[in-house]
Structure 1
Amino acid sequence: MNNLNKRFALWLGLAGAVVVIDQFTKWLIQQRLAYGDAIRVTDFFDIVFVFNRGAAFSFLANHSGWQRWFFVILAVVICGWLLQLLWRHRGETLQPLAFSLVIGGAIGNVVDRLAHGAVVDFLYFHAGSLGWPAFNVADSAICVGVALMVLAQLREGQAAKRTKASST
């Protein structure tokens, strides 16, 4: 196996690790808490057990159930696209890291949608009565991955500007 193929396998391994960690933490929550329970950790953070039938910030959660399959299909399509990008950029560092985190997070949430019809969320941050929607490890990986994708694009744009400026 050549070096680039090894790197691709490592990036896939990272995505797999995200799925395993995500599913393990969700399993722990389901074993330790009853649905709807909360454990106060600090004045601003609770561990809860809730299901999110929608997407980020419970988007489309109140619909009849069609959104489950919509989000599964959407995640599969996005993962397919990101796998192609991961293969193309496997020799780099920042972009494949970003793609691996998003792929792992998306798969983690797809597993939940297939198993439960919803995503298990358990991290709840709040300030008084104002709270951020609960989320999970998969959501965190997706957010970090997307932020790294933006950073990679900004770096690429800056490098292109420097190259253009030095060639003129």
Structure 2
Amino acid sequence: MEKHLRKSLVAYFITFFFILASDLVTKKLAEHYLYNREVSLLPFLHLVLVYNKGVAFGILSNAPDIIRLPLVLLSPLVALVLTFLYAIKRKDTTTALLMGMVAGGAIGNFHDRLFLGYVRDFIYISYGKFSWPAFNLADMGISVAILLLLTLSFSPSNSHCKN
């Protein structure tokens, strides 16, 4: 196996398992310590346990199961396959790390949906009239990875996302 591909695979899997493990551990801690309580860390940052039956940020949480279930159960598996294939194709450590973050987050939330029927969210940001739906480390991993991929793709000095 060529050196760049091997480095990419190692980066992908280390990041994948790190995000997945961190997500599942923090969700378990949130359930233990935040059940029926809220903790304010900063004026805008709160920890509060929320159960989300929908997709990202609660979208489709009230949709019928015939619509919601295929989407929430199949999309993480598609994400896992696509991120892995893209990481292999690019043979780039940065891409592999970011794809591992997306895959780890997708499978972290997939675990919750598959075994619990909902996703455990616990990080809540609000300030004044502004508020963002509760999220977890899986959501953060996915969002940060996508933001970094977009940033890299628009960077004129980086040929990172060409091909």
Report the TM-score, using the length of structure 2 for normalisation: 0.86
8 Å CA contact 1:50, 1:121 repeated in 2: yes
Where does residue 113 of structure 1 map in the other structure? 113
Asked if 1 retains the 8 angstrom alpha-carbon contact of 2:79 and 2:102, the reply is: no
Q: Relative to 1, partners in 2 of residues 1:77 and 1:50: Cα closer, same or farther, differing over 3 Å?
A: same
Report the residue type matching 2:63 in the other structure. Answer: H
User: Which residue is 1:152 aligned to?
Assistant: 152
Q: Distance in 1 between matches of 2:56 and 2:157?
A: 28
Structure with greater strand share of residues: 2
For 1:20, the equivalent position in structure 2 comes to 21
Matches within 5 A, 1:7-156: 7-34=8-35, 36-66=36-66, 67-90=68-91, 92-155=92-155
Q: Which residue of 2 aligns with 1:164?
A: none
Letter matched to residue 46 of structure 1: H
Report how far residue 119 of structure 1 moved.
0.8
Identity %: 29
Gaps of 5+ in 1: 161-168
User: In the alignment, is the contact (CA less than 8 A) between 2:27 and 2:121 conserved in 1?
Assistant: yes
Rounded to whole Å, the distance in 1 between the matches of 2:103 and 2:2 is: 23
What displacement does 1:63 show? 1.8
- TM norm structure 1: 0.84
> Which deviates the most, 61-70 or 78-87?
61-70
**Pairwise CA distance, 1:57:** 2.4
Once structures 1 and 2 are overlaid, which stretch shifts more, 45-54 or 150-159? 150-159
Q: Distance in 1 between matches of 2:159 and 2:48?
A: 44
CA distance in 1, matches of 2:63, 2:37: 24
Structure 1 residues 19-44: Cα deviation after superposition (integer angstroms, max 9, x where no partner): 0000000000111222x531222221
List runs of 5+ in structure 2 lacking aligned partners: none
Moved more, 19-28 or 110-119: 110-119
Higher CA-based Rg: 1
| 3-state SS in 2 of match to 1:50 | strand
Q: Specify the code of the residue in structure 1 equivalent to 2:139.
A: D
The number of residues matched between the two structures is: 158
Q: CA 1:10 to 1:96, structure 2 compared with 1: closer, same or farther past 3 Å?
A: closer
Secondary structure at 2:8 match in 1: helix
Counterpart Cα distance in 2 of 1:84 and 1:137: 23
SS at match of 1:111: helix
The CA distance in 1 between the partners of 2:159 and 2:8, in whole Å, is 24
